[in-house]
Structure 1
Amino acid sequence: MSPDVPEPPAGETKEEIIFRDDTVPFEFLLAGEAAGRAVARLKVTPYEAGAPLGPGGYPHAGTGWLVAPGLLVTNHHVVNARTRTAAGRAPVDPADLALQARNTRCRFDYGADAAAAATPPDEVAVAELLAWDEDLDYAVLRLADGPPRDPLRIAAAPLAVTPQEPVPVNIIQHPGGEPKRVALRNNLVYEADAKDVRYFTDTRGGSSGSPVLTDDWTVVALHRGTRRVEDIVYQGKTTAFVNVGTQISTIMQHLAEHSPAVHREIADAQALLGGRRPAEVV
């Protein structure tokens, strides 16, 4: 038997879905909070010739997240810790890159409440840089003392989108090195290919390395920056930029080819999360 719903005021009709149903289950909020526990603010001190850089060598901020117990993913350019110029980011000597990774500090549970607390959350040290690629812009770090919490679940296949079926994505991030924020609005994917996912979700400096997540909080891409575009209209306005991330499935394929031990550690952890056999994790 249908509930007795009052009639709307004169001139109005009963509620309708506008374009498409953008509602999500209430449990979406609870699952998002759990996902956020795997995301950390990173501070990376730049080194040169084995020593911290002098004036101007302040720590670079970024975001990272757990992909397996004790393994954290971020961008290569976050660990590279060099400011972008017109010519791009300066290359860092491999020995200095390893030093920068080992001196990275990860702060989990860094939200607005933690920022206002008299005692900030403890920072987690990094033991080593395990794998990286400059083109795909990823780096995998092993934590010296990983926090006891679940990693994020990652997608086994590339995200595919069509103009008829837009996909919303959400980004948990530390913009500007500030307390954790989540982008939930204006968040549709513009397009995706074998390597990249491009989306309108808001980010800014310090968001590099954030997980790009679908509404079930599965990571589909690693956020890395923005790209200038032309003739793109979103919500009735022309935009000059879209944000871009690397497909996580492409990163996993690269790890399988170049760092098989790291790939296997991640795949085994992901199999436990999703109830899949290790062979089913790309």
Structure 2
Amino acid sequence: MPEPELSKEQRKQLREALISAFPGKSKLKMMLLEELDVRLDIVVGGETYGDTVSELILWAEGEGRLEELINGAIGRVPGNPKLRKFAHSLSSQDSGNTNLSRQDTCTTNLRKWDAFPEIDWRGPTEDEELQGFLPPKPDSWDVTFLKRGIEQSLSICRIEVTGIGAVGTGFLVTQNLLLTNYHVLRGYEPELKIDPQDISLRFDYLTEDIEEKTETQVFGLKYECPILCSSPTEKLDYLLLQVEDKIFQAEGIQPVTYNQQELPSKGMGIHILHHPNGETMKITPSSNGITGIYQKQGKIQYVSNTSGGSSGSPCFNDDWQVVALHRAEKTRTFGAIGEGILFSAIYQEIAKFLC
């Protein structure tokens, strides 16, 4: 397909979206280097940061790399609202009225980022009440609590798709079985026909230590039967994936711990290990963040500070046992309201594979 061309207004929208997603020049430089293998200072100049971003867009158009730039940016910061809005505006245009056809590779890839599920929120609606579920940050943390969290982080990976970048988070429930959201890969392939060669699971994706470089471990999916079990987005929204056998020889990787019979309750703590916006792994703790449990629907709702790229993350209780699979969030003035699928509900469908 031909490289898409942007209108004057679209260039302005993309410039604003890139500045919003990468508020500092250093972050934009890192994205370009890691996603496009391009050094920003070599290809463009600009007296101000805004000028630099404008020149970058023009450079990408001239070099036929606009699609790479857009997909690289969205892959890096999938939850940014301006990038998502820009992606939606491209994918929703009629092919007869624009240079960006619906069949273009660029818009086909961008359509993926409209795949975030909606939340049927059943808890409090006033920000003041919701903010009460996010207590002030403590002056100190219990070391044993943090140690247990670090142990569970050994199960977490960033899920990447060739040509798109980071699309979500996943975690091991056995040494070679990975759990994530159905919608994480549903947007990549409409009928969920996964090509294992396109999927990478990056473990140990952490902020680099000042004294010692952190080495990531990357695995693919098992070529035959990569999907063991699944439930669509509108139901339990999960995928149980088989990782290639070489993960059995990996060091420093282990599955999460869980108690499928234990249900969380309103007001309890919920702690999420995730790759927000495709970034290095973060922990989002909350000592009393759960606003409601809806066992009949298999769902849990809570207040947190998650963001795009967190889909497919494990939600832990105070004992660091998995209680839910994080699936969606909606930004509010104080943070975000979130929704997950109860692990106990998923377990009923995947138990036969965990033996």
Question: TM-score, structure 1 length as denominator?
Answer: 0.65
CA gap of 1:252–1:240, structure 2 versus 1, over 3 A, is same
- Listed one character per residue, the Cα deviations across residues 227-268 of structure 1 (whole Å, up to 9, x for unaligned) are 599xxxxxxxx879520000011011133xxxxxxx3231x3
CA gap of 1:159–1:227, structure 2 versus 1, over 3 A, is farther
TM-superposed CA distance for 1:160, in Å, is 4.0
Cα separation, 2, equivalents of 1:123 and 1:71: 15
Aligned to 2:229: 131
Cα separation, 2, equivalents of 1:103 and 1:116: 33
Aligned to 1:264: 352
Aligned to 2:175: 69
TM-superposed CA distance for 1:155, in Å, is 2.6
Asked if the contact 2:207–2:280 (Cα under 8 Å) also holds between the matched residues in 1, the reply is yes
TM-superposed CA distance for 1:115, in Å, is 11
Q: What are the ranges of 5 or more consecutive residues in structure 1 without an aligned counterpart?
A: 1-18, 46-56, 83-90, 230-237, 256-262, 269-282
- 1:142 counterpart letter in structure 2: Q
The correspondence for 1:188, drawn from 289, 292, 307, is 289
Asked if the contact 1:159–1:197 (Cα under 8 Å) also holds between the matched residues in 2, the reply is no
TM-superposed CA distance for 1:118, in Å, is 6.7
TM-superposed CA distance for 1:205, in Å, is 0.6
- The SS at the match of 1:200 is strand
Aligned to 1:98: 194
Cα separation, 2, equivalents of 1:222 and 1:33: 18
Cα separation, 1, equivalents of 2:315 and 2:167: 18
Asked if the contact 2:314–2:324 (Cα under 8 Å) also holds between the matched residues in 1, the reply is yes
TM-superposed CA distance for 1:80, in Å, is 1.6
Asked if the contact 1:115–1:179 (Cα under 8 Å) also holds between the matched residues in 2, the reply is no
Aligned to 2:261: 157
Are residue 244 (structure 1) and residue 339 (structure 2) matched? yes
Cα separation, 1, equivalents of 2:292 and 2:149: 24
Aligned to 1:173: 274
- 1:80 counterpart letter in structure 2: R
Aligned to 1:5: none
Cα separation, 2, equivalents of 1:35 and 1:114: 19
Cα separation, 2, equivalents of 1:69 and 1:98: 21
Question: TM-score, structure 2 length as denominator?
Answer: 0.52
- 2:307 counterpart letter in structure 1: R
CA gap of 1:153–1:223, structure 2 versus 1, over 3 A, is same
Aligned to 1:41: 158
Aligned to 2:82: none
Aligned to 1:220: 323
- Listed one character per residue, the Cα deviations across residues 189-218 of structure 1 (whole Å, up to 9, x for unaligned) are 010111111011211110000000011110
4+ runs of 1 displaced by more than 6 Å? 114-119
Cα separation, 1, equivalents of 2:180 and 2:191: 19
- Listed one character per residue, the Cα deviations across residues 64-85 of structure 1 (whole Å, up to 9, x for unaligned) are 0010011111111112234xxx
The correspondence for 2:217, drawn from 122, 144, 158, is 122
Cα separation, 2, equivalents of 1:80 and 1:209: 12
Equivalences, count = 207
- 1:180 counterpart letter in structure 2: M
Asked if the contact 2:314–2:326 (Cα under 8 Å) also holds between the matched residues in 1, the reply is yes
- The SS at the match of 2:194 is helix
TM-superposed CA distance for 1:93, in Å, is 2.5
Are residue 81 (structure 1) and residue 181 (structure 2) matched? no
Q: What are the ranges of 5 or more consecutive residues in structure 2 without an aligned counterpart?
A: 1-134
- Kindly, what percent of the aligned residue pairs are identical? 29
- Listed one character per residue, the Cα deviations across residues 75-114 of structure 1 (whole Å, up to 9, x for unaligned) are 11112234xxxxxxxx7124xx221x55210111111017
Are residue 209 (structure 1) and residue 312 (structure 2) matched? yes
TM-superposed CA distance for 1:185, in Å, is 4.1
TM-superposed CA distance for 1:37, in Å, is 0.9
Cα separation, 1, equivalents of 2:310 and 2:331: 18
Cα separation, 2, equivalents of 1:161 and 1:185: 14
For the aligned residue pairs, the C-alpha RMSD in angstroms reads 2.9
CA gap of 1:115–1:249, structure 2 versus 1, over 3 A, is farther
- 2:143 counterpart letter in structure 1: F
TM-superposed CA distance for 1:42, in Å, is 0.9
Cα separation, 2, equivalents of 1:140 and 1:196: 18
Higher helix fraction: Structure 1 or Structure 2? 2
Asked if the contact 1:186–1:200 (Cα under 8 Å) also holds between the matched residues in 2, the reply is no
Asked if the contact 1:209–1:224 (Cα under 8 Å) also holds between the matched residues in 2, the reply is yes
